[in-house]
């Protein structure tokens, strides 16, 4: 990753160097371009979510700056949270600068499915969403910057990301469980495909999340729910991302993928 000062004395004992290098690798920082990977530098954090709608190309291994970042990721899976213990963090620290994330087929690791370049800034969290693939279409990325500071005391930070292209623009309702949609006001209105937005402050509690085509008349909403998360408990001082997604081969039935953000 980012080149670091080359003038620092090396660890003299070869075994110690190997142990320290292994620790640096497990910490999740890519060090491809670093002159001395044992010296810390400024970092951001990153995670990957697999939403590839192609059963042939959709099961992938992820490599971040030549460092393994995820193995056998299926649709809806994310990394590093899916890695074996103890590397089960929500995000992985990454040195700042230009970075590259490569996806390769798990069943044929010489076949590259997609390559995503991106830039890491100091203290910033990123989510890389791998999307597309239906009908041999290109696999592309959506990269979001994530707000993960603690929410207001007792509240919950909630974000919705719309990655169900066949659903078109949507209205999103976050209500009490069983609330009448005809009487509700959209929490997020006319959200475009690939749109992402944080909700206004949400109190801890149990909610229902429903998605309808944008502009659906109030009386018709209940009959046109495209996606329904019937009951979700949100605890105080937590943060969640709800992804509205196609199914694993594209199109309906749509599904929610839920991410823990902090």
Minimum mean pLDDT among 33-42, 168-177, 249-258: which range? Answer: 33-42
Q: Which residue has better confidence, 165 or 200?
A: 165
pLDDT tens column, 101-110: 999 999 998 9
Contacts of 67 (CB under 8 A, 6+ apart): 25, 28, 29, 30, 31, 32
Q: For residues 157 and 125, what is the distance between their CA atoms, to the nearest angstrom?
A: 15
Chain-centroid distance of CA 44 in Å reads 15
User: How buried is 167 (Cβ within 10 angstroms: 0-12 exposed, 13-18 middle, 19+ buried)?
Assistant: buried
Tens-place pLDDT, residues 173-187 = 999 999 999 999 999
Domains, the chain, ordered by start: 14-146 (2.60.40), 155-260 (2.60.40)
Of 133, 164, 132, 161, whose CA–CA distance to 145 is shortest?
A: 161
* pTM reported for the whole predicted model: 0.83
Express each pLDDT in 31-74 by its tens digit: 334 333 334 789 999 999 999 999 899 999 999 999 999 999 99
pLDDT of amino acid 86 = 67
């Amino acid at each position: 990753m980012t080149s670091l000062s080359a003038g620092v004395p090396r660890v003299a004992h070869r075994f110690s160097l190997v142990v320290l290098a292994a620790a640096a690798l497990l910490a999740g920082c890519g060090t491809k371009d670093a002159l001395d990977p044992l010296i810390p530098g400024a970092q951001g954090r990153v995670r990957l979510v697999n939403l590839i709608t192609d059963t042939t190309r959709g099961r992938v291994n992820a490599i971040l700056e030549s460092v393994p970042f995820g193995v056998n990721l299926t649709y809806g899976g994310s990394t590093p949270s899916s890695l074996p213990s103890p590397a089960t963090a929500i995000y992985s620290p990454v040195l700042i600068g230009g970075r590259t994330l490569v996806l390769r087929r798990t069943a044929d690791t010489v076949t590259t499915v997609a390559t995503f370049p991106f830039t890491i800034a100091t203290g910033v969290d990123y989510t890389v969403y791998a999307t597309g693939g239906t009908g041999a279409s290109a696999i592309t990325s959506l990269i979001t910057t994530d707000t993960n500071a603690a929410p207001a005391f007792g509240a919950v930070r909630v974000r919705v990301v719309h990655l169900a292209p066949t659903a078109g623009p949507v209205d999103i309702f976050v209500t009490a469980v069983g609330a009448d949609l005809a009487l509700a006001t959209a929490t997020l209105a006319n959200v475009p495909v690939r749109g992402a937005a944080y909700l206004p402050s949400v109190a801890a509690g149990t909610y229902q999340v429903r998605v309808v085509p944008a502009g659906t008349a109030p009386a018709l909403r209940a009959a046109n729910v495209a996606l329904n998360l019937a009951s979700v408990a949100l605890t105080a001082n937590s943060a969640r991302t709800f992804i509205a997604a196609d199914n694993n081969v594209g199109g309906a039935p749509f599904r929610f993928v839920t991410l823990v953000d902090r």
